[in-house]
Every structure is written in C-alpha cells, then in structure tokens.
Amino acid sequence: MRTNLRFLTIVGAVAVAATVVASGASAKAETPKANKKVAILGNEKAPQGGTFLYNLGVEPTTLNPITGTDLYNQTIQSFIMDSLMNRNFDTYEWEPALAEKVEISKDGREFTFTLRQGAQWSDGKPITIDDVKFSFDVIFDDKYNAAHLRPYYENIEKAEVTGPNSIKFVTKSKYFGNFDVVAGLTVLPKHFYGNAEEGKKKNKTILGSGPYVLKEYNQGQSIILERNKNWWGNAITEQRGRYNFQMVRMRFDKEENLVLERLKKGELDYDSLTPEAYTLKTEGAPWGTTVLKKKVENLQPKSYGYIGWNLTKPMFEEKGVRRALAHLMNREEMNKKFRFGMSLPATGPWYQQSEYADPKVKAIAFDPKKAAELLKKAGWADTNKDGVLDKGGQPFEFTLFFANKDTQKYWVLYQEDLKKSGIRMNLQLLEWNALLKNLDERKFDAVALGWGGGSVDLNPKQIWHTESSKEGGSNRIGYSNKEVDKLIDQAIAELDKKKRVQMYRKIYGMIAEDAPYAFLFNDKFILYGVNKRIGMPKETYKFAVGTDYWWMTDGK
C-alpha cells in the first residue's frame, strides 16, 4: 500500500503486521529533495493484468476518507486516494505525486505546491487547486467530523491559493513535521464531498484520483477495485512497474483458519500471518509449493496491541490500580504459548524499536504479589469473602470488549489470572462496527485494540494529549496528564531531532509509568503468506513490504 497516510489508525487485533506505513516527518526544512526525479523501484517490464486476491480482514465502518479512522478504511484509501506527495519505500524521502514540485521559503515557514497539470478524478473531472484548498479546510470545519486529523494540521495557519495551479501553506510556528503534514495531505474532490451533509452519507462509496476506483461493494462480503483509466500515473515513466493488477478483490475474512484455507486454495494471494500460524499452521503442501510463507525485517513502524482502560470509570482512575492490572497480565506466557517468542513485550505508548522510545523503560512484569500490594494500597479488599475484591460496596468487576475472535485465548488466560487475584473480567465479543460505536460513545469499561504503526518520525499528540480526548478525537480512553501535554507541545516544536528524541523518550517514560493501557506486544518480524503466482522485485523494501510493485505471473 502507498505511504500517503499520516496518522495512526485503529486496528482490531492483539498486534497486526500492518503493511501500510504512515508518512512521517523530517526534522529538516530542506525537503526540496521532493523535487528530485522519482526513483523506479519496481520492475518496468512487469506484466499488467489479473486480479489480486487480498484479505482486508474486517469490513470498514465507512469508506468516507474524511471521517474514517480505522486501518481498514485507510487501506482502501491507499488504493483510491492521492496525496500531494508520496514517500519512497527505500529512502523515505518525499517524491512528487499530485504535486509535481514544491518551493519552500527561506525561513521554512511557507510551502508552495504546484499541482500536476492534466490530473483528473476517476470520474473524469479535472483536479483543481480549489480541491486542494478544500481538502485542508474540511479538517477544521466541524461540519465534516475530521477532529482526529487536527492534531497534525493545527500548526498550519492557512492554505492560500496563489495561482491557477499553485497553493501556499503558511505555518503558525516551527514544528518538525510542518512540511510532512501538508505533503501528505489527502486530496479530496470538492464536487463530490463539498456538501457536508451529503458527504456524511457517502459511507459506501468513495471517489479519488489514485490508481484504483471502487468497482463493487458487496456488503458483508467483499470490495472490488479496478484500475483507474484516468490515473495521472499511467502516463508517468517513473510509475512503471507499479499498480500492475487490473483488479483487487478484498475479502472481510476475520478468522485465521479460514484465511489460511483460502491461501492454500488460491482464493487469497496474500495475507499477514500471526506467529502461531507461521510456526504451526503453515507446514506441509501446498505450503512451500503453491503458497509461500515469508519472514522479513524492515524499518517500517511496528503496530502494537493493548487493553485500554476507560479512565472516566472510577475503578481505573488510580495509577496504582492500572499498574496492578498490568502486573496481572502474563505476557511472557502469552508470547511463549501464542507467539512462539517472535514478539517483544511492549514497554510503552509506541513501538520500542523506535529511536523515540526510551530503552531504559522496561515492560511491567507479571507479578501477582506486587499487584496485590498495589490493590490493597488503593483500598481494594475482599470484605465479604466472596472471592472478589470490593471497595465502597462495589465489586471489582468489568467487561472487556474485543472484536477479533482469534484473540480470545489471550483474554481467557488474562481472565484466569485476574480471577486468582480477586478481579472479575467478563469477555464480550463485538462486531467491529458495534465496538467502534461503543468506543466513540465512551460506553465501555475496557477494550482490546491495536494501533497501526504510524510514522517513523511520530507525533504523540493524536493519542496522548488531553486535547485529543474531545469528541471525535483518538484519545478515547480519556488519558490526561498536564505534564505530558506540556512536554508534547514543546517536543513537536523542537526542530533539532537529537533534542526531540530526548524529549520524546521522557514522554514515553511518563506515559508508560501512568499505565493508561496494558501494553501488549511489539513484533520483531513481518510474517506473511503469498501465492507463488505473485511476482515481486524483492520480499520487502526498507520501509514497506511493497505490494504496490507486485504483479501476476500467470496474468489471471
């Protein structure tokens, strides 16, 4: 998938091998490297045609590119929508996309993009500079429900049309990611989404300017995409060897065993594999013959799973209680039993392999004795001798919502350890849309989810700042720490990357200490299964697996 995304996305899993990389940030303002000729990373002679059979995993709650926040929506966007610029999978530098060039003012405060002439929307209408301005303006217009994007664009003062084919973005103040957020701006068709009320209703359709268009949406079953005959890249030499499939069919299969069967039968061409599937469920024919399994490493940001506590609930308000709950999660056993040692116990609020994560922060160890001490200190005791802790007449009982049935074994193990310590956790499996609805309405006790990898040079404001806990924001658990807020604001304004790394590491440690989530795992490897009929230049690029450059060897 392409790298035009720029914010974190919700994932309904313990930890997934997300192959979408969000566009990150460079500490430097000299990004005119983006004006360099686009490197050809694919096979220029790759045959075009055939149908790529892909498993999306979950039916997205919406296809709307303005309001969509989950990974499934973002994956579809990556095929259909374009941004002003794209990331190079091997260098991570910006390269021209809808914008064919950019000029940056001497003070690094203004960025002027020149729109590619002749580019069209998939319906044949021309892409205009007004479309670009509209795409920025909707982020701050309450009628469009795009609050989840605001933490990234809040430092952009305005988008000013400077000519029939050019637009200038003016920044309010210094921020290390100023250029990156505007370069990664997803460009929307104003004629299609311009009416806010009508646009909100467009949840089962999507219009863009990217390499594919929506052909069919079979609700509950699949989404079929077709190559966009009007895509500007069709005539660009540097895009040769990219987007070679004529069609992409996306299924919504959630159960691992069904996905593996489809891979074996050739009903899927590609899907990520869990460590358990890679180790135990992919032995013997046709594995190794018609379907191959891959274990690769690259530098793309790693996703992580978590249990998020609703911090508006009294039982989760105290840090000591949350740390006790983390001490009762036996991640070492989970990793050994279900992940075959291929994962690392997560230590904090983003993946620990990042240079922005404090290596001195350690995972909260499984320690029932320590948990008991913390719970006792917080006033929890089994006063009526029924085996359940209570406080003020209320038992320590809560419900964990989760959407991925294959993860239930993790929660059952956790449930048993909690029970031994006098805590009753009920498990409730919900459909993805229902889970997100409860999440948005704050109608939950605890929720098992994950975050996609996000950016190489990340911005923690989207999830961890108090401002992001407002309606429509991504801080749905209601985490608030004024010291963390202050440090985040200071850090994102720091252009010196070495200094910013140290500030981020401090933020990482402070959030980890607060334990607003029970952090689960960071994967060491990217595991996937692929049909032998798929051709690829290489098994992975430096910052992405690189499915954009694959092709069908049999033409089917």
| Rounded mean pLDDT for each run of 10 residues along the chain, 556 residues in total | 43 41 33 59 91 94 89 92 93 92 91 95 97 96 88 92 97 88 95 88 93 95 96 86 95 94 97 94 95 95 93 97 98 96 95 95 98 98 96 97 94 98 97 91 95 86 92 90 97 92 98 98 94 96 94 87
- 8 A C-beta contact, residue 1 and residue 19: yes
- pLDDT at residue number 35: 58
Helix (H, G, I), strand (E, B) or coil at 527: strand
Query: In terms of C-beta density within 10 A (0-12 exposed, 13-18 middle, 19 or more buried), how is residue 343 classed?
Result: buried
- The rounded distance, in Å, linking the Cα atoms of 422 and 442 is 26
Residue 60 tokens, joined: 């997205």
Q: What is the dihedral of CA 486, 490, 491, 495, to 10 degrees?
A: 170
- pLDDT at residue number 146: 87
Residue 209 tokens, joined: 């300017």
At residue 429, φ and ψ (nearest 5 deg) are -85, 125
- The rounded distance, in Å, linking the Cα atoms of 164 and 185 is 19
Single-letter amino acid code for the residue at 384: N
Q: What is the dihedral of CA 38, 44, 46, 50, to 10 degrees?
A: 50
Query: In terms of C-beta density within 10 A (0-12 exposed, 13-18 middle, 19 or more buried), how is residue 306 classed?
Result: buried
| Cis amide leading into 286 (omega within 30) | yes
At residue 451, φ and ψ (nearest 5 deg) are -115, 135
Q: Please, which residues bridge with residue 167 across strands? A: 113, 161
**pLDDT tens digits for 246-264?**
999 999 998 999 999 999 9
Which of 450, 319, 443 shows the shortest CA–CA distance to 377?
319
Task: Give this prediction's pTM.
Answer: 0.85
Which of 56, 76, 87, 53 shows the shortest CA–CA distance to 245?
53
Which of 250, 185, 172, 266 shows the shortest CA–CA distance to 216?
250
Side-chain half-sphere CA neighbours of 494 within 13 A: 18
Q: Report the relative pairing of strands 247-251 and 51-55 from DSSP bridges.
A: parallel
Helix (H, G, I), strand (E, B) or coil at 190: helix
- pLDDT at residue number 34: 54
- The rounded distance, in Å, linking the Cα atoms of 348 and 361 is 8
- The rounded distance, in Å, linking the Cα atoms of 232 and 118 is 8
Count of C-beta atoms within a 10 Å radius of residue 374: 21
Secondary structure in 3-state letters for 412-430? HHHHHHHHHCCCEEEEEEC
Tell me, what DSSP letter sits at residue 257? H
Single-letter amino acid code for the residue at 336: K
- The rounded distance, in Å, linking the Cα atoms of 38 and 185 is 19
Query: In terms of C-beta density within 10 A (0-12 exposed, 13-18 middle, 19 or more buried), how is residue 390 classed?
Result: middle
Distance of CA 368 to the CA centre of its chain: 33
- pLDDT at residue number 197: 85
For the chain, the first-to-last Cα distance in angstroms comes to 21
Which domains can be identified in the chain, with CATH numbers?
Answer: 10-262+526-552 (3.40.190.10), 304-523 (3.10.105.10)
- pLDDT at residue number 470: 86
Tell me, what DSSP letter sits at residue 468? G
- The rounded distance, in Å, linking the Cα atoms of 550 and 534 is 7
- pLDDT at residue number 269: 97
Secondary structure in 3-state letters for 116-151? CCCCECCCCCECCHHHHHHHHHHHHCHHHCCHHHHH
Instruction: Please calculate the CA angle 45-46-47 and round it to the nearest 5 degrees.
Output: 110
